[in-house]
Chains A and B, each alone.
Chain A
Amino acid sequence: MRTNAFLLLICISGPCLAQPNYSECSFFGSQRETYARLALQAMGRKVPESTASALTRQVSSAISKAHRDDTPSFQTKPLPDTIDYFILNGLQAASVAPADKTDDYTFFRRVTLDLTGRIPTPTAVTAFVSDPTPNKRAIYIDSLLASPQWVDKWTMFYGDLLQNNATNTQIQRKNEGRNAFYKYIHDSLAANKPFNKMATELIAAQGQNSFDQTNGQLNYLVGGYVTGGPNQDIFDGQTAMIADQLLGMAHVNCLLCHNGAGHLTTLSLWGGQTTRTQAEQLSAFMAHTWVKEVKIVDPTNPTNNNLYYWSLAAYTTDYALNTTTGNRPARSPIGTIKTLTPIYLFNGGGVPSPGEDYRTALARYVTEDPQFARATVNYIWAHLFQVGIVDPPDQFDPMRLDPNNPPPAPWTLQPSNPALLASLTAHFIASGYDLKALMREITNSETYQLSSLYNGTWDPANQQLFGRKLIRRLWPEEIHDAVAQATGVVPSYNISGFSKDSTTPTVISPGFGNISFAMQFPDVTLVPDGGGVVSQFLDSFLRGDRDANPRKEEGSVLQALDLMNDNFIESRVKVTNVGGLSARNVGQQPAQAVDAMFMAVLSRHPTGDELTASVALLQSGNKGNNLEDLLWTLFNKVDFTFNY
């Protein structure tokens, strides 16, 4: 459908424009970059090089000068139905050569950061690279998956995806609600709970107290609340959230305002044919859910109206087509139909069984839908590879996924490797929706372990063939934790509203104790020090707000100023830190000191040039100062701030 190659006005023409007041399409604000890519894909046009690809090209080529230990990749033919099998097929079909395999040092640092958000210790690095065990990489991956740091990193990841925060533009979970949700995500991952079970608990949550740490999943749907409109706006908001985060289908949000025809026609083959009514029938699963505010009485100040929690109570009416104001265009009867009953929108449809709770039914249909598995797999792939097999990962077009049933020209299949996505999805379902099994499969593949260096000319158009590992800038939490760990100067934060027990009257909400590592923070704003100096240091690396502003990888002058001068790093390089990294090396020979510091910060030995220059630095003048200066330099190196 290429009647007009341009994206038509989406969600902003016709009825939407006429509405005086309607919801945030935060979708747009956060998806600007991804929108262009989607539209071009839909038109079958070449996709411009992504940030990740261009970044990789620039930085990794330079890293090659420092340490190159190339081993050719794909030396043995991959077994069928493996990641490498599908990737190699794709590369060969496009006559694109893959990059080499990573050396042990590079692999070790990369996978440790990707799976746990931490850098490895020098001892671990040395042990690994000297280990002759043939399958040592697989063994190491298992140990990472079993570590508590894995839980922390993926709690942060799912905290981002499920948008856990204490305050958002529509509603406040408060610290206690945010903490309960944090605990739910954390404990579910720690138990390696099957992800379909987790999704079921999130969608079908029942309970009367969002602060209750045994029922933290209640806070998921609380976060989908929408102010300034009728209940139907809330049902729509929660539905849009589920469709985006659990099904990778952000277009449902558009369809809850208007038909796809004329709006999504050039974006989504499926979307362009779907109606608002169909989307509202999906939203109708939420119609019995009442996000109800429950006041907490403060005995010391009975007029205090700012204490409350949320419960999910029950309405008895169905989704009514009787709204004229609010955040979305008017909902009017269709002939004699004045209310809508739930009908699942995908996978052949489905309605609640007689007497079945609506959200229980929705959870059942969502988790049984292969799209749920597909979206989950793709979100994780996109994080580990910096671009999804379907990219952007929330723009799935159900009519463009099946190579046995391809869309009509000029539409093209959406996944860059449809067989790969289908295989990963099938494996994920067969494993019981096991997130660790998925990550085990991905990180053990030769594809994941390819170098970010590329021999020959790299064409950015090939990024989704995954013939080369794309690099990424570290999260602010990773930078914080790497600096703390490498220097040995580990902070201890008493995070307000998190570390200590809640003092809200009649609320029992235990605290989580002091926190040392940023990857253990429950939130991305105001932590750990209420917006103070450490928060600002982290904020300059753009951790977002889990609301309208997503986490970003862009750099800035402020980041450079912070890496060079912020007290967080400055205080930790000093030799006055007893037992710290610089202090420990005061008594060492220069070459040993240099090697120790490179290993601690960069997880590798210095190159010949680096060693020579660094030894010369240490030998000229005040040794303590020089050690501090060398350590400062290492934290400002390109290969510290990036995962390559």
Chain B
Amino acid sequence: MDGQEKFNAIVAKYPHPTKIHSERPHLSRRTFFQLAGAGITASFLPAKLPASPLITTSGNVTTQNKAKNVIYILLAGAPSHTDTFDLKYISGTTPSTFNPTSINGVMWPMGIMPKLGGMMGDLAIVRSMQAWALVHQLGQTWVQIGRNPAAVLGNISPNIGSVVAIEKEPERTVGQVFPTFLALNSSSGAGPGYFAAEYAPFKVTPATTGLKNTTNSTGQARFSERYDFLHHIDDPLRVDSPLGKPAEDYDNFYQAAQGMMYNSAVNTAFSYSNADAARYGNTSFGNACLVAKQVLAANQGTRYIEITQGGWDMHQNIYQTAQLPTLAGLLDNGLSALISDLKASGAFAETLIVMQGEFGRTVGPLTGAKGRDHYPQQFVMFAGAGVQGGRAIGSTDSLGSATVDPGWSRARDVKPEDVEATIYSAMGIDWTTVRHDDPLGRGFYYVPNSDQDIYGPINELWPSPSASLSGT
């Protein structure tokens, strides 16, 4: 595997990310402070990042630019790939109830995920992905920020959703009040890193009653008076500073919060009926999928939604009905309803759905505890935004233990950094972008090592231009 060997050699020589600090172009401290203002950002710190001189790209990539929105589903705990999206039927091990069925050449557990099986034509399953590490916390953060969290830059690196948020900021229109980056059932989701707080994931647990605390007990009119008085009396603490920048973040939070109050768009998008919840399977995952659909339909500025479904860490009794079969069923109900609804409204064609765990699970026979343990081989599923479904990209050996065919142009295992580049490309974001406004002064690369073209989007997900011209 030539591509894999070359990649391994590069990574061995230059651990994440490739260039050492001292070799990178950087701004002098003085220039940095002049251009970008003082201090790194965390939650309460000044917001807007300056424009273009600090942002560079390679200038020679073409993005797919097919998606307006992204729904990123994290299957936390790490699902067993060989029991789900890279099904390997092992006689005597795999329960017959899984009903392994070949759909379009893709082996699929119809017995536990029948609805998604019926939608195979919409799904593209990448089976040649490998994780870098097998620790839950590390792995989950890694896939959300698209780089090694333990590396020096890992700390300040934003969630992929935050990068999308900052890139799509100029497209927000007056009157749009939803956060650009919404996180549902993702209370420990990765944050905005060094980006300002308005690009942080807005974390919500869906409820039938909608978004909590968006009305004041005194009513709208009196709340408005209170809010005006608050600014009258507290603006000296919020909007003035000897450095020339106000405590914008604190005030930004309040302004954003006020914008979400007494807003029918908020109520419509975030609340739902029991009937709708039932259609999505009556689960917290289903509710999140439902709210995601509604939020996108509201067209109120949200462009990236992260949903977490936990419970996949099945070290014991994985085939017990209450374990994998049940959880897969909940996933099946929720995701299939989401895809159906998005297709019905026409949003599917402009919404990229990405779904993965933080790694895979051991293959072959079960462990002594009748479960599966952590393992690097995994899958990532794509759908929507013009992705050509009904197939697997790449393939593994008969056990699912290693990639035998990478299935894409870089001819090696797919990594989280490639998934990251794919998302940016789909959204029309140049993944070779480097922002020189990072606090360490060494440049924040949207995709690590993009100047060396080590990682890149999986363009094979989309039909090639010649294919579409020929009408296939």
A610, B440: Cβ atoms closer than 8 Å: no
**A7 and B132: CB pair below 8 A?**
no
Would A557 and B150 count as touching, CB distance under 8 A?
no
Q: Which residues of A contact B218 (CB under 8 A)?
A: 570, 625, 628-629
Please, how many angstroms separate the alpha-carbon atoms of A621 and B247 in the complex?
32
Residues of A contacting B211 with CB < 8 Å? 561
Binds A, one of B255-263, B324-332, B424-432: B255-263
Residues of A within 8 Å of B15, CB to CB, are 4, 6, 8-9
B137: chain A residues at CB < 8 Å are 24-26, 28-29, 548
A28 contacts across to B, CB distance below 8 A: 135, 137-138, 141, 149-150
| A560:B156 contact, CB within 8 angstroms | no
With A473-B44, A549-B188 given, is the CB distance from A629 to B225 under 8 Å? yes
Chain A residue nearest to B132 (CB atoms) is A12
Q: Is the CB of A55 within 8 A of B203?
A: no
Residues of B contacting A419 in the complex (Cβ-Cβ under 8 angstroms): none
Name A453's closest neighbour in chain B (CB-CB). Answer: B242
Given A28-B138, A57-B243, A228-B315, are A561 and B260 also a contact pair (CB < 8 Å)? yes
**Separation of A359 and B469 alpha carbons in the complex (Å):** 74
What 1/0 flags go to B257-285 for Cβ under 8 Å of A? Answer: 11011000000000000000000000000
Q: Please state if B236 and A9 are interface contacts (CB–CB under 8 Å).
A: no
Residue of B with least CB distance to A641? B250
A33–B132 touching, CB < 8 Å = no
Q: Give the shortest distance, in Å, between B385 (CB) and chain A (any CB).
A: 28
B242 proximity list for chain A (CB < 8 A): 61
Which residues from 39 to 95 on chain B have a C-beta closer than 8 Å to any C-beta of chain A? 39-46
List B residues 205-236 near A (Cβ within 8 Å).
Answer: 211-218, 222-223, 225-227, 229-230, 232-234, 236
Q: How far is the CA of A503 from the CA of B466 in the complex (A)?
A: 72
- Are the CB atoms of A557 and B179 closer together than 8 Å? yes
Instruction: Point out the residues of chain B lying under 8 angstroms from A45, CB to CB.
Output: 21
Contacts of B212 in A (CB 8 A): 536, 558, 561
Give bound CA distance, A639 to B42, whole Å: 19
A21 near B216: Cβ-Cβ < 8 Å? no
> Do most interface residues of chain A lie in helix, strand or loop, or is the interface mixed?
helix
Nearest chain B CB to A140's CB is how many angstroms away?
A: 26
* Alpha-carbon distance A617/B222, docked complex (angstroms): 13
A290 within 8 A of B: no
Tell me the count of chain B residues lying within 8 A, CB to CB, of chain A: 88
- In the complex, the answer to whether A12 meets B138 with C-beta atoms within 8 Å is yes
Q: Which residue of A lies closest to B250 (CB)?
A: A638
Check A57/B38 contact, CB under 8 A, given A8-B15, A570-B217: yes
Contacts known (A35-B152, A48-B440); A555 close to B229, Cβ less than 8 A: no
Q: Which residue of B lies closest to A566 (CB)?
A: B213
Chain B: which residue is nearest A460 at the CB level?
Answer: B39
Is the pair A460, B238 in contact by a Cβ cutoff of 8 Å?
A: no
A8 to B133, CA, bound (A): 13
CA distance A5 to B20 in the complex (A): 6
Q: Is A71 positioned at the interface, with any CB of B under 8 Å from its CB?
A: no
A49 / chain B contacts, CB cutoff of 8 Å: 38-40, 439
> Could you say which residues of chain B place their CB within 8 Å of the CB of A35?
150, 152, 154-155
**Interface flag for A496 (CB, 8 Å):** no
Q: A464 vs B172: C-alpha distance in the bound complex, in angstroms? A: 40
Q: Does B16 contact A (CB under 8 A)?
A: yes
- In the bound complex, residues from chain A placing their C-beta under 8 Å from that of B213 are 558, 561-562, 564-566
Interchain CB contact under 8 A, A36 and B253: no
In the complex, B195 has a CB within 8 A of chain A: no
Docked-complex contact B149 and A32, CB < 8 angstroms: yes
Select which of A34, A40, A58, A61 is within 8 A of B45 by beta carbon.
A58
Which residues from A are CB-within-8-Å of B261?
561, 564-565
Contact A5 B21 (CB under 8 A): yes
**Is A324 at the interface (CB under 8 A from chain B)?**
no
- Cα distance, A57 to B197, chains bound together (Å): 17
Confirm or deny: A335 has a beta carbon within 8 angstroms of a beta carbon on chain B: no
Interface check A351, CB cutoff 8 A: no
A25 to B: closest C-beta gap in Å: 5
Q: Which of A62-70, A113-121, A294-302, A307-315 contacts B (4 or more CB under 8 A)?
A: A62-70
CB within 8 Å for A633 and B197 given contacts A6-B21, A32-B149, A54-B45: no
- Count chain B CB atoms within 10 A of each CB in A16, A567, A636 and give the residue with the most: A636
Tell me, yes or no, whether A181 is within 8 Å of chain B by CB: no
* Contact pattern, A 531-566, Cβ under 8 Å of B = 1, otherwise 0: 000001000000000001100011111111110111
Please tell me if A586 contacts chain B, counting CB pairs below 8 Å: no
Quick check: B151 and A7 within 8 Å, CB to CB? yes
Q: By the criterion CB–CB under 8 Å, are B233 and A614 in contact?
A: yes
- Name the distance in Å between B243's Cβ and chain A's nearest Cβ: 7
Asked if B450 is at the interface (CB within 8 A of a chain A CB), the reply is no
Query: What separation, in Å, do the CA atoms of A50 and B141 have in the docked complex?
Result: 21
Q: Given that A61-B242, A556-B197 are known contacts, is A21 also in contact with B253, CB under 8 Å in the complex? A: no
Interface 1/0 per residue, A376-392 and B, CB below 8 Å = 00000000000000000
Task: For the complex formed, measure the closest distance between the CB of B146 and the CB atoms of chain A, giving whole angstroms.
Answer: 14
Distance A45 CA – B45 CA, assembled complex (angstroms): 23
Interface of chain B, main secondary structure: loop
Complex: A613 Cα to B238 Cα, angstroms: 17
Q: Are B141 and A32 neighbours in the complex by a CB distance under 8 Å?
A: yes
A-B contact count (CB 8 A): 266
Is the beta-carbon distance between B233 and A54 smaller than 8 angstroms?
A: no
A194 to chain B, nearest CB (A): 35
Q: For the complex, is A20 an interface residue (Cβ under 8 Å from B)?
A: yes
Report if A59-B237 is in contact (Cβ < 8 Å); known contacts: A10-B150, A54-B40, A555-B197.
yes
User: Is A565 touching B215 in the complex (CB atoms < 8 A)?
Assistant: yes
Q: Which residue of A lies closest to B145 (CB)?
A: A32
CA of A12 to CA of B11 in the docked complex: distance in angstroms?
A: 14
Give the residue name and chain of the B residue nearest to A537 (CB). Answer: B213
B-chain residues with CB within 8 Å of residue A557 when the two chains form the complex = 179, 202, 253, 256-257, 260
Query: In the complex the two chains form, is B249's CB within 8 Å of A555's CB?
Result: yes
Alpha-carbon distance A12/B139, docked complex (angstroms):
10
Contact yes or no, A638 B237, CB < 8 A: yes
Contacts of A559 in B (CB 8 A): 253
Cα-based distance from A24 to B135 in the complex (angstroms): 6
In the complex, A493→B90 CA distance in Å? 55
B169 interfacial contact with A, CB 8 Å: no
- Listed stretches B299-307, B339-347, B371-379, B392-400; interface member: B371-379
Q: How far is the CB of A170 from chain B (nearest CB, A)?
A: 12
A532 to B7, CA, bound (A): 50
Is B411 an interface residue when CB atoms closer than 8 A count as contact? no
- Within the complex, which residue of A4, A65, A561, A629 is in contact with B240, where a contact is CB–CB below 8 Å? A65
Return the contact of A617 from the options B42, B138, B229, B369 (Cβ within 8 A). Answer: B229
Asked if B241 is at the interface (CB within 8 A of a chain A CB), the reply is: yes
- B236: chain A residues at CB < 8 Å are 62, 65-66, 609
* B256 (CB) vs chain A CBs: closest residue: A557
Minimum CB–CB distance for A115 against chain B, Å: 24
A62 touches B155 (CB 8 A): no
Chain A residue contacts of B373, Cβ below 8 A: 20-21, 228
Over the window 1-28 of chain B, the binary record of Cβ atoms lying under 8 Å from chain A Cβ atoms (1 yes, 0 no) is 0000000000000011100111000000
Q: What's the Cα separation between A36 and B21 when bound, in Å?
A: 12
- Return the contact of A55 from the options B45, B136, B152 (Cβ within 8 A): B45
Q: Which residues of A contact B414 (CB under 8 A)?
A: none
Q: What is the bound-complex CA distance between A94 and B417, given in angstroms?
A: 42
Instruction: Enumerate chain A residues within 8 angstroms of B16, measured Cβ to Cβ.
Output: 6, 9
List, sorted by A's number, 8 A–B pairs whose CB atoms are closer than 8 Å: A37-B155, A54-B38, A58-B250, A570-B217, A630-B229, A632-B226, A637-B233, A638-B250
Closest 8 CB pairs of A and B: A21-B373, A29-B137, A554-B43, A54-B39, A36-B155, A560-B257, A12-B133, A20-B373
Given contacts A28-B138, A558-B213, A564-B216, 8 further A-B contacts (CB under 8 A): A10-B150, A21-B315, A24-B136, A26-B137, A53-B39, A558-B204, A609-B233, A637-B234
B: which residues have CB within 8 A of A?
Answer: 15-17, 20-22, 29, 38-46, 132-138, 141, 148-156, 179, 188, 191, 197, 200, 202-204, 211-218, 222-223, 225-227, 229-230, 232-234, 236-243, 245-247, 249-250, 253-254, 256-258, 260-261, 315, 362, 369, 373-376, 439-440
